[in-house]
Amino acid sequence: MAGGGGGGRAIRVLNVAEKPSVAKTVSGILSRNQGLRMREGRSRYNKVFEFNYTIQGQPCQMLFTSVTGHLMEIEFEGRYRKWHACDPVDLFQAPIQKHVPEDKLDIRKTLEEEARKCQWLVLWLDCDREGENIAFEVVEVCSNVNSRLNIWRARFSSLIEREIHQAAQQLVRPNQLFSDAVDVRQEIDLRIGASFTRFQTMLLKDAFVFNFSTDGRNLVLSYGPCQFPTLGFVVERYWEIQAHEPEEFWKIQCSHTTDEGTATFNWIRGHLFDYTCAVLLYEMCVQEPVATVTKVRQQERLKYPPHPLNTIELEKRASRYFRMSSEQTMKIAEDLYQSGFISYPRTETDSFSARTDLHILVQEQQEHPVWGPYAQRLLDPSSGLWRNPSGGGHDDKAHPPIHPTKFSPGQSGWSEDHRKLYELVVRHYLACVSQPAVGAETTVEIDIAGEMFSALGRTIVARNYLEVYRFDSWGGSLIPNYTFGQQFTPTSLTLDSGTTRPPPLLSEADLLDCMDKGEALVMGYDDMGYELWKPYLRSMMEEDMKAVSVGNKRKAEVLATCLQQMKACFLDARLNKVKLFQALEIFFDRTNRTGGDEQHNIGELVRRCDVCEDSDLVLRKKPCRNAIWLPGSISEAAVTTTVCNVCTPGPIFKIQFTFRRLEIPPDFSVHHLGCVGGCDDIMRELMEISASAHRNFSSVPARGRGTTASSRNNSPNNQPQSTCSFCHQTGHSSSDCYSLTSQSRSAQSQGGNSHNGDSLIPCSTCGSPCLLKTANTENNRGRKFYSCQTQGCKFFVCWEDSVPTTTTSRRGDRGRGGGANGSDVRFVSATGDPVSGRSCFICGDPSHFANVCPNRGIRN
C-alpha cells in the first residue's frame, strides 16, 4: 500500500467489519488484548472497540465497529411501491433507489459519528462479492459526512493472528467490479420478483380457494428468481416419480465359494424384463451348470483422494456423512471460522495456490491423539505418503479452499456437530495431500451353458489416504483364484426378480411445504413452454455476474439485456395467463363455484382418458399423492358399495378383484372381494407371492438337485399396477392422465425384422446376427430359438418357428429408475403377440406359471 508516512502523530482509523463478532475478534488480535477498550455504539448490537496499532510504521488510533450484513436495500420509488398504482410490467424500468432501512438507521448513525473523527476508513467486510458490496455501502455513508477519508480494504480468509496482521499491513483498495456484480443481482432480483409476484398474486388469489394457511397475512403467490427454480427441481422430480411405472425384471445370479473366498458373478446381460426368456436361459444354466473360466484379467487400480474442500463439497459431505443440513453445516462452519479453527467457509475455490505453505497446516495436527500419528507420517519424507494436492479447477480469486487454521483436540464448548465438522475439515485436508489408495483388481469371466457372467475381486495393496479419510471406503472382496479354462460347479445359481424404482423425492422441507401452489404454478408456466422455472435462468445470470466482477462485461449492459429478456417473458406469460388458470384448476377450487356439491371429491367428467381408453378423466379438487400398489396378477378391479367393518378409519369400500389364473396359486380363486385397509389376509398373501417370485437352487450338482425354497429374496412386488390418482383407475398413473395438459406418453414401437427362410435374423437391440440355438429344457427340448450373443446385449430372442414380421418393444428405450433401460426381450408369435400356452417349467402343469408353483425351489 502507499504508506501513511512514518512515525509522526497518530491518525484515527475507522475500521468496519460485517458483523459484531468479527469486529471483536479482529480487535482482540490486532491489539493483542493490550489496552483494548469497548464502548456502546448507537445500535444495541454493534459496539465500538478502541486500541492503538501501527500500520506500516504509522501509529494509528483504531476505532473498530461493525454493521450487520447489508446496510442498505433497494426499493422502487414513490408510486411504484403501491401494488395497484402501476402496471407490474412497469417495474422492469421503474426508478429504483438505494436507502438505509429503518432498522439500520442507528448503525448508520454510529458510522457517521465515528467517520467524522477519522482520517482513514478500513473495510473489514467478508472477502466475497456481497462483502465488497456492503463495503461500498459503508463507504457511501461515511464519505457523505467526511469526504476526505482515505479508504482502504483489508483482505483476509481466516481469523487467525498471522493472517489478520498481514491483512492490516497490506491494505488494498476496494474492488468496484465485485460490488457492481452484486448491484446487478439485486436489481434483477427485485424487478423480476416484484413484477411476477404482483402479476400472479393479483391474477389468481381471488379466483381460487387456497387451502393453506397464511398466518393471518395477505396471501402472496411469490415468484423468486432463485427460489422458484429450486422449487422447479422438486416438482420436476415429483413428476418423474408420478410417471414411473414399476416394472419387474429378472436376472440370473451365480456365486462360487471355496476356502479362498466367495466370488459373486453377475450376469453380463444385466437383467431382462421378460420372464419367459429369463426362465429359459436360467433353465439351460441349471441343466448344464458347469462354469468354464473364459477370462482372467489383473489390473492395478488407484483411488484418488478428494479435491480440496469448497463450500458446496463441505455441505454435500456433511450431509452424506453426518446427515447435517446445509443450513446447520454453514452455521457450525461459520462458528469454527469465527473462533479461528478453520478458514473462511464460503468459497468456490478447490485448489490451493502455489504460495500456500501446505506443510505448516499438517505440522499443527501432529499432536492430535487420533490423526496426529498420520500427520507425522505424512511429514516424514521416507514414508512417501505426501502428494501435492490436485485441484478441482475452481478459483473464486478471493479465498483458499476450506482448511484447518488452528489445531484443536476438541474445545470444551464445542457441540458434537462442531467436533464432527472440524474433524471433517482436518481429515479432508490431510487426505488431499496424501497419495491415492492402491488396489489390485481381478476380473473373472465365466461361461455357463453359453451365458456369460463376470465377477470382480479386489485387494487393497496400500490404503494411503484412506487411512485418514475414514469417510471414504473402498470395499475389498477376496475371490478365489481362477485360471483360464478352469471348470467348476457354482455354489448357487438363482433366478432373482427385482422391480425398477422411481428416483427418490428431493426433500427440501421448506420447498415441500409449498408444493401445492408451487406445483400448480410450475405446471402453468411449463405449459406456456417457458423455462422460467428451470435453473437455467439463474445460472445464466450467475455467469453474467461473474463477467461483471472480472470486468468482462459492463454492469449496464448486463442489466439491459437481462431485463429486456425477462420483460418479454413477462408480457408473453400475461398473454398466456389462461394456462396458469388451467393448471391451478387441477389443484384448487374456483371461487365462483359454490360449495356443498357432493360430487366434488369424484370430480367432473372432462373426457375419456386417452391413455387407458377405459376410464374417465375428471377434474379433481386436489390430486392425491398416495397410492396402494396392487399385485400385477390382477386383471380387473372395481370398487363396490360394500364397506369393510374391520378397518379404520372407515369407510373403506371393498374392491371386487379378478386375478389372472396363471399368475396365482392353483388353490386361490380368481374372484375375490378384497379390502385394501390391511385386514385382508388373502390380498396380503397374493402380494407376498408376487414379491417372492424367486427361485434359489443353492448348489446345483449335475444330478440330484435337492434344495429347499429360499425366502431370502425381499424384492418388491410383482409388477405392481399403478392407480391413477386423478381417475382412480388402475393401469395407468396420474402422470398419464396429465396427458390432458402436457405429459403425453407414447408407446414406442421398433421396426420390424423380416425373416426369409434360413437367414439369420438381426438382433433388434444391437443389430448383430442372432445365433440359432437349441433349447435344452424339459418343456422345450430340441426346439430352436434365436439368441443375440453380443456381450451384455439385452437381446431379441424368439422361437425359430415363430419369427415375427413385426415386433413390439415394451416402451422402448425410455430411461427408468433402478438402472433398467427397458430393452425388450420376449417371445413372440408370428403375429407379434406374446407366446401363450406355456406351462410351469418346474412341474410342467399348464395351469400356472413357475413363479407360483407349489413345488418351486424343489427339483428332482
Report the interface residues with DNA, using CB under 7 A. 18-21, 45, 68-70, 73-76, 81, 83-84, 91, 103-104, 126, 128, 130, 185-186, 189-190, 192-194, 197-198, 201-202, 205, 217-220, 222-228, 346
Backbone angles phi, psi at 97, to 5 degrees: -125, 150
Task: Give me the least distance between CB of 133 and DNA, in Å please.
Answer: 9
Place of cell 381408453: 613
To which H or E segment does residue 443 belong?
strand 437-448
Task: Give me the least distance between CB of 150 and DNA, in Å please.
Answer: 26
591 vs 791 by CB, closer to DNA: 591
To which H or E segment does residue 732 belong?
none
Across 600-752, where does the E strand assignment appear? 604-608, 616-619, 634-643, 653-659, 671-674, 695-698
CA angle 235–238–243, rounded 5-degree value: 130
Task: Give me the least distance between CB of 100 and DNA, in Å please.
Answer: 10
> 3-class DSSP state for residue 169?
helix
387 vs 538 by CB, closer to DNA: 538
Task: Give me the least distance between CB of 513 and DNA, in Å please.
Answer: 14
Task: Give me the least distance between CB of 182 and DNA, in Å please.
Answer: 8
* Cβ neighbours around 812 below 10 Å, total: 15
Query: Whole-angstrom Cα distance, residue 430 to residue 409?
Result: 16
Query: Whole-angstrom Cα distance, residue 377 to residue 361?
Result: 14
100 vs 689 by CB, closer to DNA: 100
Question: Active-site residue among 223, 275, 344, 374?
Answer: 344
Omega before 804 within 30 of 0, i.e. cis: no
Residue 265 carries which side chain, given as an amino acid letter?
Answer: F
Task: Give me the least distance between CB of 63 and DNA, in Å please.
Answer: 18
84 vs 593 by CB, closer to DNA: 84
Residue 784 carries which side chain, given as an amino acid letter?
Answer: K
| DSSP-derived secondary structure letter, 743 | -
Task: Give me the least distance between CB of 833 and DNA, in Å please.
Answer: 54
Query: Whole-angstrom Cα distance, residue 31 to residue 53?
Result: 7
Place of cell 428468481: 225
Helices 176-204 and 555-575, interaxial angle, to 10°? 10
C-beta of residue 701 within 8 angstroms of C-beta of residue 489: yes
Q: How far is CA 820 from CA 241, 244, 268, 333, 439, in A?
A: 15, 12, 14, 40, 30
Helix, strand, coil percentages in the chain from 3-state DSSP, rounded to 5: 35, 20, 45
137 vs 423 by CB, closer to DNA: 137
339 vs 443 by CB, closer to DNA: 339
545 vs 842 by CB, closer to DNA: 545
Place of cell 505440522: 363
Please compute Rg for the chain using Cα positions. Answer: 35
Task: Give me the least distance between CB of 238 and DNA, in Å please.
Answer: 20
- CB-neighbour burial class of residue 612 (10 A; exposed 0-12, middle 13-18, buried 19+): middle
Q: What nine digits make up the cell of 449? A: 451353458
Task: Give me the least distance between CB of 206 and DNA, in Å please.
Answer: 9
Known catalytic residue: 282? no
21 vs 56 by CB, closer to DNA: 21
225 vs 804 by CB, closer to DNA: 225
Query: Whole-angstrom Cα distance, residue 245 to residue 243?
Result: 6
397 vs 671 by CB, closer to DNA: 397
344 vs 799 by CB, closer to DNA: 344
CA angle 189–194–196, rounded 5-degree value: 100
Task: Give me the least distance between CB of 594 and DNA, in Å please.
Answer: 24
To which H or E segment does residue 389 belong?
none
To which H or E segment does residue 256 belong?
strand 248-258
Beta partners for residue 446, in sequence order: 293, 453
Omega before 369 within 30 of 0, i.e. cis: no
Give Cα 14 distance to the centre of its chain: 46
Task: Give me the least distance between CB of 345 and DNA, in Å please.
Answer: 10
C-beta of residue 311 within 8 angstroms of C-beta of residue 334: no
The catalytic site residues sit at 344
